Structure 1
């Protein structure tokens, strides 16, 4: 299959105004998919113009992905379009404080953004992909998914959910021709990171990942799933986490055990 045959005709990129989201939009459009770009703020129309310049259709929807009605608005914006690729890119922690230094409502918004809206969208768009036996789900993640830390309690918990959620979906959907990938990023050159560093009087590190390279690598690794650790080969472990290959083998082992317990046919 070509990329469009596998993941067409439309892609949704949630969090597409700038940075990695905009790079995903351009990379997907370059492969021939029409795009629905979603974001709350930022230069969303600039992203759309760049996508249209690549010769595909593009529509936009300004949606607060942390709002309780975010999924309903996403589904409304998608309408009856055949969504073959869903990219959940929004999910950054713009709070940057310890858990008890903010009201819990702020953390619930972060949970809604990363977990609830993403889960609803994957269920809504992934189901038809399963029936069509083709499609893909990309959940942009962070190395924080591998463990908690001070100032990252809620953020790392959300990212840990995405890691396990993506792995489980990969095991369930791969027999049905649907690809699932979560990509765990390190420091990436985005406007938000640059703004954070500037506000704190910190220099820009020389080794930031390029958003374009991140998007290209994610789309390259999507058929293999369920995880890619940015900057590492598939069988290469990081300083504080196992290799993607080891995680994949672990998921298949757990999948087999779960099938035995629940009496379901194995995914593999």
Structure 2
């Protein structure tokens, strides 16, 4: 339990693993000695990454192709995982795949986005988190965004879904912390991913300066996983930047709420 693999192994499950931050998290998990379950829609990039990790790190891999926006995505992933012991779940997949104002896209598109950003992750947290609680070890890393802290025109459903995951992740941190299971909401800023570059190209915009690299993001996420419940990219724990209050202040609030909850809820 003194090693990363002892705490979070033997398997890590990473959604959105085919490129960008998902691939970076997968490489870092493999470098720590964790076997990797790689999940995304596109099979070929996953196969290539799996071969790379097996060759360079000598770990086992499992490739799972799944559309995380589908209602049955979580069930299909859990079935594919089988009896493998997942000690680390990285909910990396989650984006604004619609890129429209709310009334300018069909409601079916927004329901799919909610499955991608909320429902599938919630179901996986329930199954995998329950197993971690029984083992009294493990970690859940939820990738979020600065829009978690407030709404934004043109991102109504995306911002709402990320706000839900922020409160959900904080609550999960509080519930699982007594069992030795770590939960971290990692709020990203602008990160240099293929998805971002595709959006910029579609809107004929140049890449802005100061983009974070996926490798930097993965390193910071692993370094702060045990701290919880929130890490804002590029900001200190006691710094209020993306949010009106700092992660440290939100942590203190959660601890205070735990004390209040014990007076009305059996824990």
Match of 1:87 in 2: 90
Structure 1 residue 239 displacement after superposition: 5.2
C-alpha deviations, 1:43-91, integer Å up to 9, x for none?
A: 2222212222222111101100110110111101110000100111111
Taking the aligned partners of 2:106 and 2:201, their CA distance within structure 1 comes to 26
Taking the aligned partners of 1:239 and 1:78, their CA distance within structure 2 comes to 36
TM-score by length of 2: 0.96
Match of 2:264 among 250, 261, 267: 261
Alignment of 1:1-268 (within 5 A): 1-41=2-42, 43-52=45-54, 53-238=56-241, 240-262=243-265, 264-265=266-267
- Mean CA deviation greater in 41-50 or 157-166: 41-50
Label 1:239 to 1:8 Cα distance change in 2 as closer, same or farther (>3 A).
Answer: closer
State the SS of the aligned residue for 2:262: helix
Label 1:64 to 1:3 Cα distance change in 2 as closer, same or farther (>3 A).
Answer: same
C-alpha deviations, 1:206-245, integer Å up to 9, x for none?
A: 2001111101101110101011000001111105432111
Taking the aligned partners of 2:38 and 2:181, their CA distance within structure 1 comes to 21
The number of residue pairs the alignment matches comes to 264
Taking only aligned residues, the RMSD between alpha carbons, in angstroms, comes to 1.1
Label 1:239 to 1:81 Cα distance change in 2 as closer, same or farther (>3 A).
Answer: closer
Taking the aligned partners of 2:244 and 2:79, their CA distance within structure 1 comes to 39
Regions of 4+ moved over 2 Å:
none
**Is the 2:170–2:229 Cα contact (8 Å) retained in structure 1?**
yes
Taking the aligned partners of 1:184 and 1:13, their CA distance within structure 2 comes to 17
State the SS of the aligned residue for 1:43: helix
C-alpha deviations, 1:21-41, integer Å up to 9, x for none?
A: 000000000000000000012
TM-score by length of 1: 0.96
